[in-house]
Structure 1
Amino acid sequence: MPAEMIDQPTAPSRPSLRDMLTDKFGQVALRSGQIIVVLVLAAAVVFALVQLKLVVIPVLIALILASALSPVITVMRKHVSAGLATWITLVAGILIFGGIIALIVFAVEGQWNDLSTSAVEGVNQLQQFVQGPPFNVGQEQFTSARDAVVGFLTSSQFGTGAIASVSAAGSVITGAVLAIVILFFFLKDGDRIWAFFLRPFHGYRHDRGVRIGRTAVKTFGGYVRGTAIVAFVDAVCIGAGAAVLGVPLALPLAVIVFLTAFIPIIGATLAGVLAALVALVANGPFIALIVILIVVAVNQLEGNLLQPVVMANSLKLHPLVILVALTAGTILGGIVGAVLAVPIAAVAWATIKVWNHAERPAPADPEPEKEPAEA
């Protein structure tokens, strides 16, 4: 054999595509690519939902309300037809909601003059207070601030905002009407609608879909009913305290407390701040301080007693998760998004837990063994 053939080095073999994809770096690259694709698809879905929020939000509101009213519909269907039960429930809900709005309007209209007079006096007192030490704010600064507010109200920017508000009001009315229509069909044929979506699935996939539907209805309904109970207690306590102290607009304030209680963590605080401001303007700082103490006491009662007892089975989320959901919901959907974010997060977590099997109840504590009786 020639010597030149023996001494010639062999060329290194190149790694195959299979080797490049199956080594450690290839596995990390593939997994990273999958994560990127999932994130892009999720972002695309969220973007599409935000663009269609005029439809998505009414559907979510109708779904949550239908879940909350499902026990009422179930009981009524035992005595009347599904259509009649739906009409009775829907009309009764609209009448109750309309009656509450009418009470608020009448209360505000009857006490508006007194409240506006108290507001003017409160502003004057505040002006006199800040003009003295240690603030020493001059009259010229008040005048410039007033001119700035008047200039903004008469500017084209404010007019553009007013036109945008009118357009937003039209969207709200359209969404409300759409939500009522969708709610009617969810109450009447909600089980049939979900069964229609499950037709393509069979076997364990069909069973999983049934579990998810039942879990969503149970979680949505439990959350709304539990929050409504807590909100009602908060509204009664704060409204009664404001009425006893002679704070004007006690009824509207109680309704605002009830509505804002559906925004966890920050809702009750915002309502308490509003009640304290009204008391400060109309009744002075001492009554405002008492109102703040009442709000703090009610919040402690809610957090330490009502929430654990009423919401234990429907809201099993860490406060940090609730805060993140509130932030994301507010960014995507404003106030409505903040209201809907927490129940949606609760349903998502409940769905994950029953994805492969039904959620089992917690085991009961074993009974202590009895000592044998002495002979």
Structure 2
Amino acid sequence: MSVPHPPRQRPTSTWIDPRHLPYPLVVAGAWSGRLVLVLAAAALLLYGLAKISFIVVPLAIALLFAVLLHPLHRFLRTKAHLPDGLSAGLSLILLIALVTGSVSLAGTQIATGVEDMRSSVSQGIDSFIAWLSTGPLHLTTTQLQDYVDRAREALQKNSSNLTSGALAASSSAVDFLAGTLIALFTTFFFLYQGEKIYRFVLHLLPEAAQDPTFQALRRGWVSLGAYARTQVIVAGVDALGISLGALVLGLPFVVPLFLLVFIASFVPIVGAFVSGAVAVLIAFVVKGPVVALVMLGVVLVVQQLESHVLQPFLMGKAVALHPLAVVLAVAVGSYLLGIVGALFAVPVLAVVNSATRYLVGDDPFPELGDGPLPPTAGQDVDHELPATVDDADARTDAHTSTGTAATDREVGGSHTVTD
């Protein structure tokens, strides 16, 4: 006689027991949920940064200025024995004088060269129109006149848009002036009281997170300083090479071209392409297609020297970023935040790379060691804090500027720091 099975009871809970699911599905679900949260947090952060970009951008520029001026500030404070405030103010004044003098010189050359360039531009346009007629396009005079009439008609129809664009440009100029003042003001306090600000923010974190955050940020600061100083050197070499080529070829506006190439070089890949195109365009309009081809050759030689010699040698392996990572960072940054994103994408990536490598156990700067946490605000000491930004810069200036730190680690296998 068979015994009847008891009726199967339905589970009272509505949750599915993970043990009843395939393990790959459980893992995929866990990863998916966390990725969604990370992407949502990143999107919210970018949205917030875009809304307050008039503050964030000057702060980011001030941070770059501070990391560039910090060696000079440290020299004036320790070697010349100047007070902190005076050394910070003098460093900032020297930066302002350098920028103002360069812009004034470029403006003077543009003002004096416009009259001389008018005839050259007119001849260049005439030769360009003649090339359109006799070149491979074989455009007739009637077609050229038709294109000119269409362009004139389009300008007349969009005159209101051009006027509104001019008003928007004047408003942007006011915003630029305000942002410049904020950046300069913030740079001064980053130099003057950067240690106190850093100490205050650090001690806002939970106690367990303070030490790893402190050590990771030290690596990020050194990486940012190495990147910024290297980019200044590379941009200077690019600008000097292209402007010397323009000077030899007899092109006008050499100083403005130098400044354009120097500033554009801070935007990797895209900046070099745009500034090189401007140099070739000036050569084509003023001197013709043959000189333009020569100028193109000069631009290509300088850019190849930068990408294959200067960048690998100066940046060093400790803060090196793969070219694909640089291209993707610039593309994503420019897509999300425009020119600002393209400008700051690579420095942010360099800082995140160094900090993350330390947190996962791959220390990019083992010569820094794990210094003690800075004292709290109640334990105020002299500005020379142990194992802080000053100490990090002093230990790694020679290594990060030439890339020998990575070479030492590869050859020696170990690195001992002696204070």
> What TM-score, normalized to structure 2?
0.81
Q: How does 1:125-204 map to 2 (within 5 A)?
A: 125-132=127-134, 134-154=136-156, 155-201=159-205
Question: Runs ≥4 in structure 1, deviation > 6 angstroms?
Answer: none
Secondary structure in 2 matching 1:14: coil
Partner residue, 1:80: 82
The question of whether the paired residues in 1 share the 8 Å contact of 2:124 and 2:287 is answered with no
Q: Does the 8 Å CA contact 2:133/2:139 hold for their aligned counterparts?
A: yes
Q: State how far apart, in whole Å, the 1-side matches of 2:53 and 2:269 are.
A: 25
Shift of 1:227: 0.9
Tell me if structure 2 keeps the 8 A contact 1:230–1:302.
Answer: yes
Aligned match of 1:61:
61
1:365 and 2:362 aligned: no
By how many angstroms is 1:127 displaced? 1.0
Q: Deviations over 1:38-79 (max 9, x none)?
A: 211211111111111111111111111111211111111121
Structure 2 CA distance for aligned equivalents of residues 249 and 366 of structure 1: 50
Q: How does 1:20-59 map to 2 (within 5 A)?
A: 20-22=17-19, 23=21, 24=23, 25-59=25-59
Partners of 1:297 and 1:13 lie apart in 2 by: 76
Contact 1:245 1:287 in 2 (8 A): yes
- 1:110-125 correspondence runs (5 A): 110-125=112-127
The answer to which of 170-179 and 129-138 deviates more is: 129-138
d(CA) in 2 for partners of 1:85, 1:349:
32
Structure 1 window deviating more from structure 2 (242-251 vs 147-156): it is: 147-156
Distance across 2 between alignment mates of 1:215 and 1:365: 22
Aligned residue number for residue 379 of structure 2: none
* 1:318 alignment partner AA: H
Equivalent position amino acid for 2:114 in 1: W
- Closer/same/farther in 2, CA of residues 31 and 217 from structure 1, 3 Å limit: closer
The change in CA–CA distance for 1:95 and 1:136 in structure 2 (over 3 A counts) is same
Q: Which moved more, 1:237-246 or 1:136-145?
A: 136-145
Aligned to 1:255: 259
Check whether the contact 2:59–2:183 (CA below 8 A) recurs between aligned residues.
yes
Q: Which deviations, in whole Å up to 9, do the C-alpha atoms of 1:230-260 show, x marking residues without a partner?
A: 1111211211121111111122112211111
| Cα distance between partner residues in 2 of 1:171 and 1:37 | 35
For 1:190 and 1:291, locate their aligned partners in 2 and report how far apart those are by CA, in whole Å. 45
Instruction: Figure out how many residues of one structure are paired with residues of the other and give that number.
Output: 364
**For the Cα contact (< 8 Å) 1:76–1:85, is it kept in 2?**
yes
Q: Distance in 2 between matches of 1:296 and 1:30?
A: 49
Secondary structure of residue in 1 paired with 2:280: helix
- Of the three residues 265, 269, 285, the one matched with 1:265 is 269
Contact 1:222 1:313 (C-alpha < 8 Å) held by counterparts: no
Relative distance call for 1:164 and 1:239 in structure 2 (3 A) is: same
Mark the CA change 1:277 to 1:195 in structure 2 (over 3 Å): closer, same or farther: same
For the residue of structure 2 that corresponds to 1:354, the secondary structure is: helix
For the Cα contact (< 8 Å) 2:267–2:343, is it kept in 1? yes
- 1:206 is aligned, of 206, 210, 234, to 210
Q: Which moved more, 1:275-284 or 1:130-139?
A: 130-139
Q: Contact conserved, 1:69 with 1:221, CA < 8 A, in 2?
A: no
Give 1:280 shift. Answer: 1.1
Deviation of 1:85 after TM superposition, in Å, equals 0.5
Distance in 2 separating the partners of 1:30 and 1:353: 24
Residues 314 and 91 of structure 1: CA distance in aligned 2, closer, same or farther (over 3 Å)? farther
Residues 307 and 8 of structure 1: CA distance in aligned 2, closer, same or farther (over 3 Å):
closer
Give the Cα separation in 2 of the matches to 1:73 and 1:31.
Answer: 47
Provide the C-alpha distance between the structure 2 equivalents of 1:366 and 1:84, rounded to a whole number of angstroms. Answer: 42
Report 1:272-351 matches (<5 A): 272-312=276-316, 315-351=319-355
Q: Distance in 2 between matches of 1:68 and 1:56?
A: 19
In the TM superposition, residue 145 of structure 1 has moved relative to its aligned partner by 2.9
Q: 1:14 aligns with which of 1, 8, 11?
A: 11
Q: Give yes or no for contact 1:68–1:222 (8 Å, CA) kept in 2.
A: no
The whole-number CA distance in structure 1 between the counterparts of 2:16 and 2:31 is: 16
Q: Distance in 2 between matches of 1:314 and 1:244?
A: 38
Unaligned runs of 5+ in 2: 367-404, 414-419
Matched AA of 2:64: I
Instruction: Give the number of the structure whose alpha-carbon radius of gyration is greater.
Output: 1
Q: Which amino acid aligns with 2:11?
A: R
Q: Determine what percentage of the aligned residue pairs are the same residue.
A: 31
